[in-house]
C-alpha cells in the first residue's frame, strides 16, 4: 500500500505506542514480583517503577519459606494449587481432546453426529454461570466437589467444543488419498484411524491440545464454585492470599501471577498460527 | 486461505463397507454425545424443576424432594420485578456497547497497519498478542494493582498535572466501571486484531490490483473492496466479543468484586453473588433458565441465518 516515509514513521509510532501500552500491565506485575517487601508494602509512599533491590523473596514466601521482613506465615503454600492447576488442566485437556478428536473424525469421515457442531457452538455460547447450579448439585451428589476428577471432568466438557471444532477443521483439510490407499491395502477403518490418520495429525493434535490446555489453565469461575480447599487452583488460591496483618500481599500475589501467566503466554505464542482457527471455530484458517 | 463454509457439515463418505464405517462413526462420536447429553439434558431438567420451587441448600432437604417447596412460577414473577437483575443486565449491555466497538476499531486500525510487510512485523505481532494470553484472573489482579490510589496509573497522571493525583479508581462507582472496561479493552483488542488481520490478508488481491490500476484511492479501495469482502469475518469477530462480554466475570470480579455497591455488577457477578452469598438456588435456577432460553432462541436463529447466508 502506501510506501511513503511519513507513513512508515506513522506506522511505527502507532504500533510501538500500542505495544508499550499492551506490555505495561504485565511488566508492572513482573516488576512487583521481584520487589522486596519495603517497596510494595508502603502503599502510596514512594512508587518505584522498577525494583531497586530485586529479590526472590516473594517467590520464596509463596512456597513457604519465611521471609526476613514479612512476619506472617502462609497457612497454605503455592505448591499444592500449582499442582492442582496442572493436574486438572491436563486431565481436562485429555478428556476434551479424546472425545473431541474421535467425534470430529466420526463426523468428518463418516458423517455421524451431525447434531454435534450446533450443540457444541451453543455449549460455548452459554455463560458457564447459567448452568452452574445444576452442576454444583450434580457434582455434590456424585461427590465431585473439591476433587481433582470433578474439576477435570467439567473442564473437559467446557473445552470440548474447541477440541472438536479445531480437530474437525484439521480433518476436513487433510487429504484422503493416503487413507484410501491404506483401505485398498486391506486395513480396517479403525486401524487406518489409529495407525495412519492420528500419527499424521500429530502437529494438529499438539496445537489443539495446547489451545485447550490454555483455556483450562485460564479458568477461574468454575474452580471458584467447585473447589473449596484441597483442589483450589492458582487463581482461586491467589484471591485468598490476603492477610489481616498485611492487607493485600501485593508482592506475593504478583509472584504467583507471574507463575500463572508465563506458561500460557509461551504456549500461545508457540501456536499463534492456529489461534485464529481455534477462536473462530474454524470459520477462518490461515 | 479462508473457508467460511466450514460451519456447514462437509460430509463425504468413503465407500469401504458402509455399515462398518457407520458403526465406527457412531462409536467415535459416542463419548462427545454422552458428554453433551450429560451437561445439557440433566442440568436443564433439574433447572426447570428447581426453578419452580423455593429450594435452597440450607433447607436441609435433598434437591430431589424440592417439590415439597413448590411455588410454581413465583420465581419468574420475582425476576420480572427484580431491579438488581435488570440493573446487572443493563450494565452488561452497557459494557458491551462501549467495549465491542472500541475493540473493533482499534483492532481494525492495527490490522490495517499490519497487513503489508515491514521490518520487525513478526516480533511486534507476537508481542501484541500477549495480553489475550494472560490468564484473565491474573489480568484482573494486574489492573487491580495498576488502579490503586498509589498505583502506576495515578503516578502517570501525576506526571501531567502539578499536584499528585490520588484517584481511588476502584472505589468510585463510575470510575470503577471505566477501569473494568479499560481492562477488557486491553485484554481483548488483540483478539479482534488477530481475527481481522487474518480476514484482511485473505481478501484476494486481484480486484484491488484492478482498482489501483484504475486509480482508486486507498480509502476508496478499503471501503468498497476490502471491508465488504470481510463482512462475514467481521460478524464472527463481533459475535465472539459480544458472547464473551455477556459472560464477563473473572477480570472484573477480581478487580472490584462487582462493587462498590453494585456499580460493576454484571449478569455473571449477580448470579454468582446470589448463588454463593444469598444461597437462593431455586431463584438462580430461574434466572439461569431464562437466560438460557433467550440465548438458545437467539443463537439458533443467528446460526441458521449465517449458514443460509453462506450457501450460494
* Partner-chain contact B142 A281, CB within 8 Å: no
pLDDT digits (tens, 9 = 90+) for B76-107: 988 888 999 999 999 999 999 999 999 999 99
Cis-peptide, bond into residue B260, ω within 30° of zero: yes
Nearest to B299 among A122, A217, A280 (CB): A122
pLDDT, tens digit, 9 for 90 and up, residues B288-298: 999 988 888 88
Give pLDDT tens digits for A110-163: 888 888 888 888 888 888 888 888 898 889 888 898 999 999 999 999 999 999
- In a mutagenesis test of the A interface, which of B26, B113, B133, B289 is the best target, namely the one with the most A β-carbons within 10 Å? B133
**Torsion (CA) B53, B300, A213, A56 in degrees, nearest 10:** -70
Longest distance between any two alpha carbons in chain A, whole Å:
77
**A39, A27, A24: which is closest to A251 by C-alpha?**
A39
Could you give the ipTM of this predicted complex?
Answer: 0.90
Q: Closest Cα to residue B144, out of B270, B272, B267, B251?
A: B251
Say whether residue B211 is in contact with chain A using an 8 A CB cutoff: no
**C-alpha dihedral, A105 to A108 to A111 to A117, nearest 10°:** 90
Report CA Rg, chain A: 23
Give the span between the Cα atoms of B267 and A126, in whole angstroms.
12
Strand, helix or coil at A247? strand
Closest chain A residue to B133, measured at CA: A265
Kindly state the cell numbers that stand for A176: 484422503
Per-residue burial over A135-174, b if 16 or more Cβ lie within 10 Å, else e, is bbbbbeeeebbbbbebbbbbbbbbbbbbbbbbbbbbbbbb
What is the DSSP secondary structure assignment for residue B69, as one 8-state letter? Answer: G
The closest alpha carbon to B78, from B307, B273, B257, B280, belongs to B280
The continuous run of DSSP H or E covering B292 comes out as: helix B281-310
Q: Do A114 and B11 touch (CB under 8 A)?
A: yes
- Residue in chain B closest to A43 (alpha carbons) equals B150
Burial B25-46 (b: 16+ CB within 10 A, else e): beebbbbbbebbeebbeebbeb
The mean of the pLDDT values for chain A is 86
B217 band by pLDDT with thresholds 50, 70 and 90: confident
Enter the C-alpha cell of residue B46: 433439574
CA dist B55 and B240 (Å) reads 35
Amino acid at each position: 500500500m502506501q510506501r511513503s516515509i511519513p507513513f512508515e514513521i506513522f506506522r511505527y509510532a502507532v504500533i510501538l505506542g500500542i505495544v508499550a501500552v499492551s506490555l505495561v500491565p504485565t511488566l508492572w506485575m513482573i516488576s512487583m514480583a521481584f520487589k522486596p517487601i519495603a517497596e510494595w508494602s508502603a502503599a502510596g509512599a514512594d512508587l518505584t517503577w522498577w525494583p531497586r533491590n530485586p529479590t526472590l523473596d516473594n517467590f520464596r514466601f509463596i512456597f513457604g519459606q519465611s521471609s526476613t521482613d514479612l512476619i506472617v506465615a502462609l497457612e497454605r503454600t503455592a505448591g499444592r494449587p500449582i499442582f492442582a492447576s496442572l493436574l486438572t488442566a491436563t486431565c481436562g485437556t485429555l478428556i476434551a481432546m479424546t472425545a473431541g478428536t474421535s467425534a470430529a473424525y466420526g463426523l468428518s469421515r463418516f458423517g455421524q453426529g451431525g447434531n454435534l457442531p450446533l450443540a457444541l457452538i451453543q455449549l460455548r455460547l452459554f455463560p458457564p454461570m447459567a448452568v452452574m447450579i445444576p452442576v454444583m448439585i450434580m457434582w455434590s451428589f456424585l461427590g465431585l466437589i473439591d476433587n481433582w476428577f470433578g474439576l477435570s471432568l467439567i473442564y473437559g466438557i467446557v473445552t470440548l467444543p474447541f477440541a472438536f471444532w479445531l480437530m474437525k477443521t484439521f480433518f476436513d483439510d487433510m487429504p484422503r488419498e493416503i487413507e484410501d490407499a491404506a483401505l485398498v491395502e486391506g486395513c480396517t477403518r479403525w486401524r487406518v484411524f489409529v495407525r495412519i490418520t492420528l500419527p499424521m495429525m500429530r502437529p494438529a493434535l499438539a496445537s489443539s491440545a495446547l489451545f485447550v490446555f490454555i483455556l483450562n489453565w485460564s479458568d477461574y469461575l468454575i474452580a471458584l464454585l467447585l473447589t473449596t480447599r484441597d483442589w483450589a487452583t492458582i487463581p482461586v488460591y491467589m484471591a485468598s492470599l490476603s492477610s489481616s496483618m498485611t492487607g493485600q500481599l501485593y508482592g506475593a500475589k504478583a509472584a504467583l501471577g507471574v507463575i500463572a501467566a508465563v506458561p500460557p503466554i509461551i504456549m500461545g505464542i508457540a501456536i499463534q498460527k492456529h489461534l485464529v482457527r481455534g477462536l473462530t471455530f474454524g470459520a477462518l484458517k490461515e | 486461505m479462508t473457508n467460511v463454509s466450514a460451519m456447514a457439515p462437509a460430509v463425504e463418505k468413503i465407500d469401504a463397507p458402509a455399515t462398518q464405517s457407520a458403526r465406527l462413526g457412531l462409536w467415535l462420536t459416542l463419548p462427545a454425545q454422552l458428554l453433551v447429553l450429560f451437561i445439557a439434558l440433566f442440568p436443564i431438567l433439574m433447572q426447570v424443576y428447581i426453578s419452580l420451587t423455593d429450594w435452597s441448600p440450607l433447607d436441609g432437604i435433598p434437591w430431589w424432594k424440592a417439590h415439597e417447596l413448590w411455588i410454581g412460577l413465583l420465581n419468574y414473577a420475582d425476576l420480572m420485578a427484580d431491579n438488581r437483575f435488570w440493573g446487572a443486565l443493563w450494565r452488561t449491555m452497557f459494557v458491551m456497547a462501549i467495549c465491542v466497538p472500541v475493540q473493533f476499531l482499534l483492532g481494525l486500525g492495527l490490522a490495517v497497519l499490519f497487513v503489508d510487510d515491514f521490518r520487525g512485523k513478526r516480533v511486534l505481532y507476537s508481542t501484541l498478542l500477549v495480553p489475550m494470553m494472560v490468564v484473565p484472573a491474573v489480568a484482573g489482579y494486574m489492573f487491580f494493582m495498576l488502579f490503586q490510589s498509589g498505583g502506576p496509573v495515578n503516578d502517570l497522571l501525576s506526571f501531567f498535572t502539578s499536584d499528585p493525583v490520588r484517584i481511588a479508581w476502584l472505589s468510585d462507582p463510575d470510575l470503577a466501571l471505566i477501569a473494568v472496561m479499560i481492562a477488557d479493552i486491553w485484554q481483548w483488542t488483540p483478539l479482534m486484531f488477530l481475527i481481522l488481520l487474518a480476514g484482511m490478508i485473505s481478501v484476494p488481491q486481484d480486484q484491488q490490483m484492478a482498482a489501483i490500476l484504475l486509480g482508486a484511492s486507498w480509502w476508496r479501495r478499503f471501503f468498497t473492496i476490502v471491508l465488504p469482502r470481510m463482512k462475514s469475518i467481521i460478524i464472527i469477530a463481533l459475535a465472539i466479543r459480544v458472547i464473551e462480554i455477556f459472560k464477563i466475570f473473572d477480570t472484573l470480579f477480581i478487580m472490584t468484586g462487582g462493587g462498590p455497591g453494585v456499580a460493576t455488577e454484571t449478569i455473571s457477578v449477580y448470579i454468582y453473588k446470589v448463588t454463593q452469598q444469598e444461597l437462593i438456588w431455586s431463584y438462580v435456577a430461574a434466572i439461569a433458565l431464562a437466560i438460557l432460553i433467550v440465548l438458545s432462541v437467539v443463537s439458533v436463529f443467528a446460526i441458521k441465518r449465517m449458514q443460509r447466508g453462506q450457501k450460494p
